[in-house]
Amino acid sequence: MDYTAALDAALGRLHDEGRYRTFIDIERRKGHFPHAIRTRADGSEQKITVWCGNDYLGMGQHPEVLAAMHEALEATGAGSGGTRNISGTTVYHNRLESEIADLHGKEAALVFSSAYIANDATLSTLRDIFPGLIIYSDALNHASMIEGIRKGGGAKRIFRHNDLAHLRELLAADDPAAPKLIAFESIYSMDADVAPISAICDIAEEFGALTYLDEVHAVGMYGPRGAGIAERDRQMHRIDIINATLGKAYGVFGGYIAASAKMVDAVRSYAPGFIFTTSIPPVVAAGAAAAIRFLKGEGGRALRKQHQDQAKALKLRLRGLGLPIIDHDTHIVPVHVGNPIHCKMLSDMLLEQFGIYVQPINFPTVPRGTERLRFTPSPVHGAAEIDQLVKAMDLLWGQCALNRAEASA
Ligand code: PLP
Protein backbone atom coordinates (compact mmCIF):
# COMPACT_ATOMS: atom_id res chain seq x y z
CA MET A 1 0.00 0.00 0.00
CA ASP A 2 1.11 3.55 -0.68
CA TYR A 3 0.73 4.80 2.90
CA THR A 4 1.62 8.39 2.05
CA ALA A 5 -1.03 8.53 -0.68
CA ALA A 6 -3.61 7.11 1.76
CA LEU A 7 -2.72 9.79 4.33
CA ASP A 8 -2.97 12.48 1.64
CA ALA A 9 -6.35 11.14 0.56
CA ALA A 10 -7.70 11.06 4.13
CA LEU A 11 -6.57 14.63 4.82
CA GLY A 12 -7.70 15.76 1.36
CA ARG A 13 -11.25 14.60 2.09
CA LEU A 14 -11.37 16.87 5.12
CA HIS A 15 -10.01 19.82 3.13
CA ASP A 16 -12.56 19.18 0.35
CA GLU A 17 -15.43 19.17 2.84
CA GLY A 18 -14.10 22.31 4.55
CA ARG A 19 -13.74 20.30 7.78
CA TYR A 20 -9.95 20.35 8.16
CA ARG A 21 -9.17 21.76 11.59
CA THR A 22 -6.28 23.98 12.55
CA PHE A 23 -5.13 24.74 16.08
CA ILE A 24 -5.03 28.27 17.41
CA ASP A 25 -1.90 28.45 19.52
CA ILE A 26 -2.82 30.23 22.75
CA GLU A 27 -1.27 30.66 26.15
CA ARG A 28 -3.61 31.68 28.95
CA ARG A 29 -2.11 34.04 31.51
CA LYS A 30 -2.80 33.11 35.12
CA GLY A 31 -4.46 36.02 36.92
CA HIS A 32 -5.57 37.53 33.61
CA PHE A 33 -8.28 35.13 32.40
CA PRO A 34 -10.01 35.39 29.93
CA HIS A 35 -7.04 37.13 28.31
CA ALA A 36 -4.34 35.12 26.59
CA ILE A 37 -1.49 35.40 24.16
CA ARG A 38 -1.85 33.94 20.70
CA THR A 39 1.26 32.99 18.77
CA ARG A 40 0.71 33.29 15.02
CA ALA A 41 2.29 30.94 12.46
CA ASP A 42 5.00 33.55 11.78
CA GLY A 43 5.94 33.64 15.48
CA SER A 44 4.40 37.06 16.20
CA GLU A 45 2.20 37.45 19.27
CA GLN A 46 -1.29 38.90 19.69
CA LYS A 47 -3.24 39.69 22.86
CA ILE A 48 -6.60 37.97 22.70
CA THR A 49 -9.73 37.42 24.78
CA VAL A 50 -10.90 33.81 24.90
CA TRP A 51 -14.67 33.57 24.36
CA CYS A 52 -14.99 29.84 23.68
CA GLY A 53 -13.26 28.23 26.66
CA ASN A 54 -14.90 25.62 28.85
CA ASP A 55 -13.14 26.72 32.04
CA TYR A 56 -16.59 28.14 32.69
CA LEU A 57 -15.89 29.70 36.09
CA GLY A 58 -12.21 30.57 35.75
CA MET A 59 -11.26 27.91 38.33
CA GLY A 60 -8.08 27.17 36.36
CA GLN A 61 -6.51 30.20 38.02
CA HIS A 62 -8.25 30.01 41.40
CA PRO A 63 -5.81 30.49 44.32
CA GLU A 64 -7.21 27.57 46.34
CA VAL A 65 -6.86 25.21 43.38
CA LEU A 66 -3.33 26.38 42.63
CA ALA A 67 -2.29 26.15 46.30
CA ALA A 68 -3.56 22.56 46.52
CA MET A 69 -1.67 21.66 43.36
CA HIS A 70 1.56 23.29 44.54
CA GLU A 71 1.32 21.47 47.85
CA ALA A 72 0.76 18.08 46.16
CA LEU A 73 3.57 18.73 43.69
CA GLU A 74 6.03 19.44 46.50
CA ALA A 75 4.77 16.50 48.54
CA THR A 76 4.61 13.75 45.91
CA GLY A 77 6.34 14.85 42.70
CA ALA A 78 5.03 14.74 39.15
CA GLY A 79 3.10 11.60 38.26
CA SER A 80 1.26 8.82 40.08
CA GLY A 81 3.71 6.13 39.00
CA GLY A 82 1.21 3.44 38.11
CA THR A 83 -2.24 2.21 37.25
CA ARG A 84 -4.82 2.36 40.00
CA ASN A 85 -4.35 -1.35 40.74
CA ILE A 86 -0.56 -1.28 40.66
CA SER A 87 0.83 1.49 42.89
CA GLY A 88 -1.18 4.33 41.31
CA THR A 89 -3.81 4.83 44.05
CA THR A 90 -2.82 7.57 46.47
CA VAL A 91 -4.45 9.47 49.27
CA TYR A 92 -5.14 12.23 46.71
CA HIS A 93 -7.16 9.86 44.49
CA ASN A 94 -9.13 8.59 47.47
CA ARG A 95 -9.84 12.11 48.72
CA LEU A 96 -11.00 13.20 45.28
CA GLU A 97 -13.35 10.24 44.95
CA SER A 98 -14.81 10.92 48.41
CA GLU A 99 -15.33 14.57 47.46
CA ILE A 100 -17.14 13.54 44.26
CA ALA A 101 -19.30 10.89 45.97
CA ASP A 102 -20.31 13.48 48.58
CA LEU A 103 -21.04 16.06 45.86
CA HIS A 104 -23.53 13.78 44.15
CA GLY A 105 -24.93 12.13 47.26
CA LYS A 106 -23.71 8.72 46.08
CA GLU A 107 -21.94 5.94 47.95
CA ALA A 108 -18.90 5.97 45.68
CA ALA A 109 -17.12 7.55 42.75
CA LEU A 110 -14.47 6.48 40.27
CA VAL A 111 -12.00 8.83 38.60
CA PHE A 112 -10.87 8.29 34.99
CA SER A 113 -8.36 10.07 32.75
CA SER A 114 -11.22 12.16 31.30
CA ALA A 115 -15.00 12.27 31.08
CA TYR A 116 -14.63 10.95 27.54
CA ILE A 117 -12.86 7.86 28.88
CA ALA A 118 -15.34 7.59 31.78
CA ASN A 119 -18.28 7.49 29.33
CA ASP A 120 -16.54 5.20 26.89
CA ALA A 121 -15.22 2.77 29.51
CA THR A 122 -18.38 2.64 31.63
CA LEU A 123 -20.97 2.34 28.88
CA SER A 124 -18.97 -0.30 27.01
CA THR A 125 -18.45 -2.31 30.22
CA LEU A 126 -22.06 -2.28 31.46
CA ARG A 127 -22.89 -4.81 28.75
CA ASP A 128 -20.49 -7.30 30.40
CA ILE A 129 -22.06 -6.67 33.79
CA PHE A 130 -25.70 -6.80 32.65
CA PRO A 131 -25.91 -9.40 29.85
CA GLY A 132 -28.54 -8.51 27.25
CA LEU A 133 -28.59 -4.84 28.29
CA ILE A 134 -30.48 -2.58 25.88
CA ILE A 135 -29.24 1.02 25.87
CA TYR A 136 -31.60 3.87 24.96
CA SER A 137 -29.49 6.81 23.88
CA ASP A 138 -30.54 10.41 23.17
CA ALA A 139 -29.87 11.28 19.51
CA LEU A 140 -27.66 14.22 20.50
CA ASN A 141 -25.50 12.38 23.02
CA HIS A 142 -21.79 13.19 23.01
CA ALA A 143 -19.34 11.18 20.90
CA SER A 144 -17.89 9.53 24.03
CA MET A 145 -21.26 8.00 24.92
CA ILE A 146 -21.90 6.93 21.34
CA GLU A 147 -18.48 5.30 21.22
CA GLY A 148 -18.97 3.45 24.52
CA ILE A 149 -22.39 2.20 23.46
CA ARG A 150 -21.05 1.09 20.06
CA LYS A 151 -18.06 -0.67 21.61
CA GLY A 152 -20.25 -2.56 24.09
CA GLY A 153 -21.78 -4.22 21.06
CA GLY A 154 -25.31 -5.04 22.33
CA ALA A 155 -28.73 -3.74 21.39
CA LYS A 156 -29.19 0.03 21.25
CA ARG A 157 -32.09 2.33 20.48
CA ILE A 158 -31.70 5.99 19.60
CA PHE A 159 -34.54 8.22 20.78
CA ARG A 160 -35.17 11.60 19.19
CA HIS A 161 -33.54 14.38 21.18
CA ASN A 162 -35.42 15.00 24.46
CA ASP A 163 -38.48 13.27 22.95
CA LEU A 164 -40.22 11.50 25.84
CA ALA A 165 -42.94 9.96 23.67
CA HIS A 166 -40.36 8.40 21.39
CA LEU A 167 -38.34 7.09 24.34
CA ARG A 168 -41.47 5.53 25.83
CA GLU A 169 -42.43 4.00 22.48
CA LEU A 170 -39.00 2.36 22.12
CA LEU A 171 -39.02 1.02 25.69
CA ALA A 172 -42.53 -0.34 25.31
CA ALA A 173 -41.56 -2.23 22.15
CA ASP A 174 -38.85 -4.26 23.91
CA ASP A 175 -39.03 -7.36 26.10
CA PRO A 176 -40.19 -6.17 29.55
CA ALA A 177 -37.76 -8.60 31.17
CA ALA A 178 -34.65 -7.28 29.36
CA PRO A 179 -32.22 -5.11 31.38
CA LYS A 180 -32.38 -1.52 30.16
CA LEU A 181 -30.44 1.73 30.54
CA ILE A 182 -31.34 5.26 29.43
CA ALA A 183 -28.27 7.37 28.60
CA PHE A 184 -28.62 11.13 28.27
CA GLU A 185 -27.03 14.51 29.07
CA SER A 186 -28.29 17.26 31.35
CA ILE A 187 -27.11 20.24 29.25
CA TYR A 188 -26.43 19.61 25.58
CA SER A 189 -23.54 21.91 24.95
CA MET A 190 -24.05 22.88 21.32
CA ASP A 191 -27.69 24.08 21.65
CA ALA A 192 -27.34 24.70 25.39
CA ASP A 193 -30.71 23.05 26.03
CA VAL A 194 -31.64 20.98 29.07
CA ALA A 195 -33.00 17.44 29.44
CA PRO A 196 -36.35 16.81 31.18
CA ILE A 197 -34.59 14.76 33.87
CA SER A 198 -37.57 14.19 36.13
CA ALA A 199 -39.79 12.96 33.28
CA ILE A 200 -37.04 10.66 32.00
CA CYS A 201 -36.62 9.21 35.50
CA ASP A 202 -40.40 8.62 35.67
CA ILE A 203 -40.23 6.66 32.43
CA ALA A 204 -37.15 4.76 33.62
CA GLU A 205 -39.00 3.73 36.77
CA GLU A 206 -42.03 2.65 34.82
CA PHE A 207 -39.94 0.36 32.59
CA GLY A 208 -37.42 -0.78 35.21
CA ALA A 209 -34.52 0.91 33.41
CA LEU A 210 -31.27 2.25 34.88
CA THR A 211 -30.43 5.92 34.26
CA TYR A 212 -27.06 7.26 33.08
CA LEU A 213 -26.61 11.04 33.05
CA ASP A 214 -23.71 13.04 31.59
CA GLU A 215 -23.45 16.30 33.61
CA VAL A 216 -20.21 17.43 31.95
CA HIS A 217 -21.55 20.89 31.04
CA ALA A 218 -23.41 21.41 34.33
CA VAL A 219 -21.22 20.35 37.26
CA GLY A 220 -19.82 23.23 39.25
CA MET A 221 -22.40 25.56 37.72
CA TYR A 222 -25.90 24.40 38.72
CA GLY A 223 -27.49 23.21 41.94
CA PRO A 224 -26.93 24.53 45.48
CA ARG A 225 -23.53 22.78 45.76
CA GLY A 226 -22.66 22.73 42.07
CA ALA A 227 -23.55 19.07 41.51
CA GLY A 228 -25.38 19.91 38.30
CA ILE A 229 -28.88 20.07 36.84
CA ALA A 230 -30.00 16.85 38.56
CA GLU A 231 -29.17 18.47 41.90
CA ARG A 232 -30.94 21.71 40.90
CA ASP A 233 -34.03 19.70 39.88
CA ARG A 234 -33.80 17.50 43.00
CA GLN A 235 -33.46 14.38 40.86
CA MET A 236 -29.93 13.31 41.75
CA HIS A 237 -31.09 10.35 43.87
CA ARG A 238 -32.99 9.00 40.86
CA ILE A 239 -29.91 8.79 38.62
CA ASP A 240 -28.04 5.50 38.85
CA ILE A 241 -24.79 6.67 37.26
CA ILE A 242 -23.68 10.30 36.99
CA ASN A 243 -20.79 11.14 34.68
CA ALA A 244 -18.90 14.44 34.65
CA THR A 245 -15.60 16.15 33.95
CA LEU A 246 -12.98 17.79 36.14
CA GLY A 247 -11.68 19.74 33.13
CA LYS A 248 -14.39 22.33 32.49
CA ALA A 249 -16.04 24.22 35.37
CA TYR A 250 -13.61 22.62 37.84
CA GLY A 251 -10.78 24.01 35.74
CA VAL A 252 -8.38 21.07 36.04
CA PHE A 253 -8.44 17.71 34.21
CA GLY A 254 -9.97 14.23 34.43
CA GLY A 255 -13.43 12.70 34.55
CA TYR A 256 -15.52 10.43 36.73
CA ILE A 257 -18.64 8.47 37.47
CA ALA A 258 -20.57 8.55 40.76
CA ALA A 259 -22.94 5.71 41.66
CA SER A 260 -23.71 3.04 44.27
CA ALA A 261 -20.72 1.32 45.86
CA LYS A 262 -21.59 -1.91 44.05
CA MET A 263 -21.90 -0.25 40.66
CA VAL A 264 -18.56 1.51 41.08
CA ASP A 265 -16.95 -1.70 42.33
CA ALA A 266 -18.16 -3.58 39.25
CA VAL A 267 -17.03 -0.90 36.75
CA ARG A 268 -13.69 -0.60 38.58
CA SER A 269 -13.22 -4.36 38.29
CA TYR A 270 -14.23 -4.81 34.64
CA ALA A 271 -13.55 -1.62 32.64
CA PRO A 272 -10.33 -1.85 30.58
CA GLY A 273 -10.34 1.95 30.18
CA PHE A 274 -9.99 2.22 33.95
CA ILE A 275 -7.77 -0.77 34.69
CA PHE A 276 -5.07 -0.59 32.03
CA THR A 277 -3.96 3.03 32.22
CA THR A 278 -1.82 5.17 34.49
CA SER A 279 -3.90 7.01 37.09
CA ILE A 280 -4.11 10.81 37.01
CA PRO A 281 -1.23 12.64 38.73
CA PRO A 282 -1.80 13.38 42.44
CA VAL A 283 -1.29 17.07 41.61
CA VAL A 284 -4.29 16.95 39.30
CA ALA A 285 -6.38 15.03 41.84
CA ALA A 286 -5.51 17.58 44.53
CA GLY A 287 -6.45 20.54 42.30
CA ALA A 288 -9.73 18.97 41.20
CA ALA A 289 -10.69 18.13 44.80
CA ALA A 290 -9.96 21.72 45.86
CA ALA A 291 -12.11 23.08 43.02
CA ILE A 292 -15.04 20.83 43.91
CA ARG A 293 -14.70 21.72 47.60
CA PHE A 294 -14.63 25.44 46.86
CA LEU A 295 -17.59 25.33 44.50
CA LYS A 296 -19.70 23.38 47.01
CA GLY A 297 -19.62 26.35 49.37
CA GLU A 298 -20.53 30.01 49.61
CA GLY A 299 -17.78 31.04 47.16
CA GLY A 300 -19.25 28.66 44.61
CA ARG A 301 -22.75 30.07 45.02
CA ALA A 302 -21.42 33.59 44.40
CA LEU A 303 -19.54 32.47 41.27
CA ARG A 304 -22.58 30.62 39.95
CA LYS A 305 -24.68 33.75 40.31
CA GLN A 306 -22.07 35.89 38.58
CA HIS A 307 -21.80 33.31 35.81
CA GLN A 308 -25.54 33.34 35.11
CA ASP A 309 -25.61 37.14 35.31
CA GLN A 310 -22.85 37.42 32.70
CA ALA A 311 -24.62 34.98 30.38
CA LYS A 312 -27.88 36.92 30.74
CA ALA A 313 -26.11 40.24 30.10
CA LEU A 314 -24.46 38.95 26.94
CA LYS A 315 -27.69 37.44 25.61
CA LEU A 316 -29.58 40.65 26.30
CA ARG A 317 -27.01 42.72 24.42
CA LEU A 318 -26.80 40.35 21.43
CA ARG A 319 -30.56 40.03 21.27
CA GLY A 320 -30.77 43.81 21.38
CA LEU A 321 -28.81 43.86 18.11
CA GLY A 322 -31.27 41.38 16.64
CA LEU A 323 -28.66 38.64 16.39
CA PRO A 324 -30.08 35.11 16.17
CA ILE A 325 -29.03 33.69 19.52
CA ILE A 326 -30.17 30.27 20.68
CA ASP A 327 -31.46 30.74 24.23
CA HIS A 328 -32.41 27.90 26.55
CA ASP A 329 -31.73 29.79 29.75
CA THR A 330 -28.31 28.25 30.35
CA HIS A 331 -24.80 29.67 30.46
CA ILE A 332 -23.80 28.91 26.85
CA VAL A 333 -24.60 31.49 24.16
CA PRO A 334 -24.71 30.05 20.63
CA VAL A 335 -25.21 32.54 17.79
CA HIS A 336 -26.69 30.89 14.71
CA VAL A 337 -24.83 31.64 11.46
CA GLY A 338 -26.10 28.77 9.32
CA ASN A 339 -23.28 28.61 6.81
CA PRO A 340 -19.80 27.08 7.32
CA ILE A 341 -17.98 29.67 5.21
CA HIS A 342 -19.63 32.67 6.90
CA CYS A 343 -19.06 31.06 10.28
CA LYS A 344 -15.34 30.57 9.68
CA MET A 345 -15.05 34.04 8.14
CA LEU A 346 -16.68 35.69 11.16
CA SER A 347 -14.45 33.75 13.53
CA ASP A 348 -11.33 34.73 11.55
CA MET A 349 -12.35 38.41 11.44
CA LEU A 350 -13.14 38.51 15.16
CA LEU A 351 -9.71 37.09 15.88
CA GLU A 352 -7.66 39.13 13.42
CA GLN A 353 -9.44 42.48 13.76
CA PHE A 354 -10.50 42.45 17.41
CA GLY A 355 -8.43 39.79 19.21
CA ILE A 356 -11.66 37.96 20.06
CA TYR A 357 -11.21 34.21 19.95
CA VAL A 358 -14.30 32.11 19.26
CA GLN A 359 -13.94 28.86 17.35
CA PRO A 360 -16.47 28.24 14.52
CA ILE A 361 -18.70 25.23 15.21
CA ASN A 362 -19.32 23.32 12.00
CA PHE A 363 -20.43 19.86 10.84
CA PRO A 364 -20.08 17.15 12.18
CA THR A 365 -20.24 18.76 15.64
CA VAL A 366 -23.58 20.30 14.59
CA PRO A 367 -25.81 19.48 11.58
CA ARG A 368 -25.02 21.22 8.30
CA GLY A 369 -26.92 24.50 7.95
CA THR A 370 -26.82 25.12 11.72
CA GLU A 371 -23.21 26.32 11.90
CA ARG A 372 -22.71 28.73 14.77
CA LEU A 373 -20.41 30.71 16.99
CA ARG A 374 -20.63 29.45 20.56
CA PHE A 375 -19.76 31.99 23.24
CA THR A 376 -19.07 30.98 26.83
CA PRO A 377 -19.24 34.04 29.07
CA SER A 378 -17.86 33.48 32.56
CA PRO A 379 -17.39 35.40 35.79
CA VAL A 380 -13.98 36.52 34.49
CA HIS A 381 -15.55 38.21 31.44
CA GLY A 382 -16.31 41.72 32.70
CA ALA A 383 -18.41 44.54 31.27
CA ALA A 384 -15.49 45.76 29.15
CA GLU A 385 -15.02 42.38 27.47
CA ILE A 386 -18.75 42.04 26.82
CA ASP A 387 -18.87 45.54 25.38
CA GLN A 388 -15.97 44.85 23.03
CA LEU A 389 -17.56 41.60 21.83
CA VAL A 390 -20.99 43.11 21.24
CA LYS A 391 -19.57 46.05 19.25
CA ALA A 392 -17.42 43.73 17.14
CA MET A 393 -20.32 41.38 16.42
CA ASP A 394 -22.56 44.28 15.46
CA LEU A 395 -20.01 45.65 13.02
CA LEU A 396 -19.07 42.32 11.44
CA TRP A 397 -22.65 41.08 11.21
CA GLY A 398 -23.47 44.22 9.22
CA GLN A 399 -20.35 43.95 7.05
CA CYS A 400 -21.12 40.32 6.20
CA ALA A 401 -24.77 41.23 5.48
CA LEU A 402 -26.04 38.46 7.70
CA ASN A 403 -29.65 38.02 8.72
CA ARG A 404 -30.73 39.53 12.01
CA ALA A 405 -33.84 37.38 12.43
CA GLU A 406 -34.23 35.78 15.83
CA ALA A 407 -33.23 32.11 16.30
CA SER A 408 -35.15 29.55 18.27
CA ALA A 409 -35.47 29.45 22.02
N1 PLP B 1 -19.39 14.60 27.63
C2 PLP B 1 -19.75 15.74 27.00
C3 PLP B 1 -21.20 16.06 26.84
C4 PLP B 1 -18.76 16.62 26.50
O5 PLP B 1 -19.11 17.74 25.86
C6 PLP B 1 -17.39 16.29 26.68
C7 PLP B 1 -16.29 17.16 26.21
O8 PLP B 1 -16.35 18.19 25.73
C9 PLP B 1 -17.08 15.10 27.35
C10 PLP B 1 -18.09 14.27 27.80
C11 PLP B 1 -15.66 14.72 27.59
O12 PLP B 1 -15.13 15.45 28.66
P13 PLP B 1 -13.55 15.47 28.90
O14 PLP B 1 -13.08 16.70 28.22
O15 PLP B 1 -13.34 15.45 30.36
O16 PLP B 1 -13.01 14.23 28.24
- pTM of the full structure: 0.96
Q: Which residue among 138, 216, 219 has the greatest number of ligand 1 atoms within 8 angstroms of its CB, and so is best to mutate?
A: 216
Q: How far is ligand 1, taken at its centre, from the CA of residue 123, in Å? A: 14
Nearest to 352 by CA among 54, 19, 47: 47
| Marked catalytic residue, from 248, 262, 305, 315 | 248
Q: Are strands 134-138 and 180-185 parallel, antiparallel or unpaired?
A: parallel
Separation CA 126–CA 136 (nearest Å): 13
Q: Which residue among 116, 193, 330 has the greatest number of ligand 1 atoms within 8 angstroms of its CB, and so is best to mutate?
A: 116
Q: Which atom of ligand 1 is nearest to the CA of 185?
A: 3
Nearest to 326 by CA among 311, 306, 348, 345: 311
Q: Please give the helix or strand (H or E) that residue 197 lies within, else none.
A: helix 197-207
Separation CA 339–CA 260 (nearest Å): 45
Q: Which residues line ligand 1 (CB under 6 A)?
A: 114-116, 119, 142, 144, 185, 189, 214, 216-217, 245, 247, 255
Burial of 365 by CB count in 10 Å (0-12 exposed, 13-18 middle, 19+ buried)?
A: middle
Instruction: Decide if 248 is catalytic.
Output: yes
Q: How far is ligand 1, taken at its centre, from the CA of residue 115, in Å? A: 5
State the DSSP code for 121.
H
Q: Could you check whether the bond before residue 364 is cis, i.e. omega within 30 degrees of 0? A: yes
Separation CA 146–CA 137 (nearest Å): 8
pLDDT tens digits for the chain (409 residues)?
A: 999 999 999 999 988 877 788 899 999 999 999 999 999 999 999 999 999 999 999 999 999 999 999 999 999 999 999 999 999 999 999 999 999 999 999 999 999 999 999 999 999 999 999 999 999 999 999 999 999 999 989 999 999 999 999 999 999 999 999 999 999 999 999 999 999 999 999 999 999 999 999 999 999 999 999 999 999 999 999 999 999 999 999 999 999 999 999 999 999 999 999 999 999 999 999 999 999 999 999 999 999 999 999 999 999 999 999 999 999 999 999 999 998 889 999 999 999 999 999 999 988 889 989 999 999 999 999 999 999 999 999 999 988 877 776 555 5
Q: Which residue among 245, 284, 331 has the greatest number of ligand 1 atoms within 8 angstroms of its CB, and so is best to mutate?
A: 245
Q: Which atom of ligand 1 is nearest to the CA of 119?
A: 10
> DSSP string covering 277-321, please?
SBPPPHHHHHHHHHHHHHHHSHHHHHHHHHHHHHHHHHHHHHHHT
Nearest CA owner, ligand 1 atom 12? 115
